[in-house]
Amino acid sequence: MAQLRSERGLDRLVNFSDATVAIAITLLILPLVDAATHIGGEPFDAFFAKYQWEILAFVVSFAVIARFWVVHHRIFESVRAYSSSLVWANFLWLFSIVIIPFTANVLSNGSGQRVDVNALYIGNLLLAAIASQLMGRVLVRHPDLMSEEARAAQDRTAGLAELLLMAVALVLAILIPAVGMFWLFLLFLAGPLHGLFRRAVYGPGAGRRASRTDS
C-alpha cells in the first residue's frame, strides 16, 4: 500500500509543478524576443519570413505545453494524497516539460528539415506523454491516493490514444522525414481513438457516458 503524505505536501508538489511549467512556457518566447531586437526598420512580413520556423515552433510548443498542463491539472484534481512513486513520475513529467524550450529552439534552427531534430522534438513530447501515463498508472494501482468521486469516474484508457499517436508520429517522422513535425497533426485523431478504446474496455455505452461527463 502506498504511503500517504500530508495535504500541505501535496499543495507544495502541485505549486512547484505549476511554477516549473510557467517558467518553461515563458522561456519559449525568448528566442523571438531576442530576434525582435534586431528588427529595426525591417517590415514585419520580412521579419516573419525570416523567423517563420521560430514563430511556428513557439506557437506549437506553447499549445503543447498548455495541453500537457491541462492533462496534469486533471490528474491532480483527482488526487487527495501522494506517494513517492507519484512524486518521481511527476518529476519525470517536469523534466520532459522543461526541455521543450530547448528542443523547440533546436527545431526552429533546423528549419524543420532534419530527421534527427524532428525525432528529438517529437521524442521529447512522447516522453511527456509517457510520464503522464505513469502518473495515471500509479493512481490506478493505488486508488487510495484519489478522492472517492475520482475513483468512481476513473478512466483507465485516458491518454492512451495520445500516447499511441505520438509514438506513431515519431516513427513516421523518421521514416518519412519530408512531413517532419507536421506528423503531430495525427493527434487530432485522439478523440475518436479514445472513444474506441473506451468502448473496448467499458462496453458500447462508454462513449455516450464519457460525452455526458465531459459536457
**Rounded CA Rg of the chain:** 19
Q: How many Cα atoms are found within 13 Å in the side-chain-facing hemisphere of 134?
A: 19
Q: How many residues does the chain have?
A: 215
Taking the C-alpha atoms of residue 13 and residue 203, their distance in angstroms, rounded to an integer, is 36
Which residue stretches of the chain have pLDDT < 50? Answer: 1-2, 207-215
CA-nearest of 69, 44, 74, 33 to 158 is 74
Query: 172: which residues sit within 8 A by CB, 6+ positions away?
Result: 179, 183, 186
Q: What is the pLDDT of residues 51-85, one digit of tens each?
A: 888 888 899 899 999 999 999 999 999 899 899 99
Q: Where are the domains of the chain?
A: 7-214
Whether residue 28 contacts residue 101, with contact meaning beta carbons closer than 8 Å, is answered with yes
Place of cell 472517492: 148
Whether residue 4 contacts residue 85, with contact meaning beta carbons closer than 8 Å, is answered with no
Q: What is the pTM of this model?
A: 0.83
